[in-house]
Amino acid sequence: MSDIEHSGADVLLTHLINVGVATLPSLVQPWPGTVGIMPTSPDEALTVYDTNGRMDGRYLGSGKTIDHPAFQIRFRSRTARSANKRILKVQGKLDLVKRSLVTIEGKQYRIQAVRRSTTIFSLGPEEGNPQRYLFTINGFITYSLVE
């Protein structure tokens, strides 16, 4: 993965926008998606974070280490029902990923697979704003640069 310029979170968010379960923040529509930092508004938003992945041995021929980057998708909403509806849509799209292509800044990536490692997990009220609730799902992404 030495030529890769974008993180798993960048690639995954681009896919979620492409399949219609997240929107670009600049469009000011419901459920904007960001990477790394949850925006202060709107109330309903999602953010994809890179988390600790898993190393999984080496290829025999090259000795290259097999790396599985991990992600967390954090959802914020005023109601658990609204968040759960969006999370179920996102989970459905993640479960369908199979050799999907995404393009970021002229670089094309192939997502071979996404594997969720958790179901919906409630984080409780947002710190500093108890009227908004946080939820998360976690998983692994396998992707490569298309050359």
Tens place of pLDDT per residue across the chain (147 aa)? 457 899 999 999 999 999 999 999 998 888 999 999 999 999 999 999 999 888 777 778 888 877 789 999 999 999 999 999 999 999 999 999 999 999 999 999 999 999 999 989 999 999 999 999 999 999 999 999 998
Q: Where are the domains of the chain?
A: 8-145
Buried b (16+ CB within 10 A) or exposed e, 48-78: bbbeeeeeeeeeeeeeeeeeebbbbbbbbbe
Cut 0.75: pTM above it: yes
Topology of domain 8-145 in CATH is STM4215-like (3.30.2000)
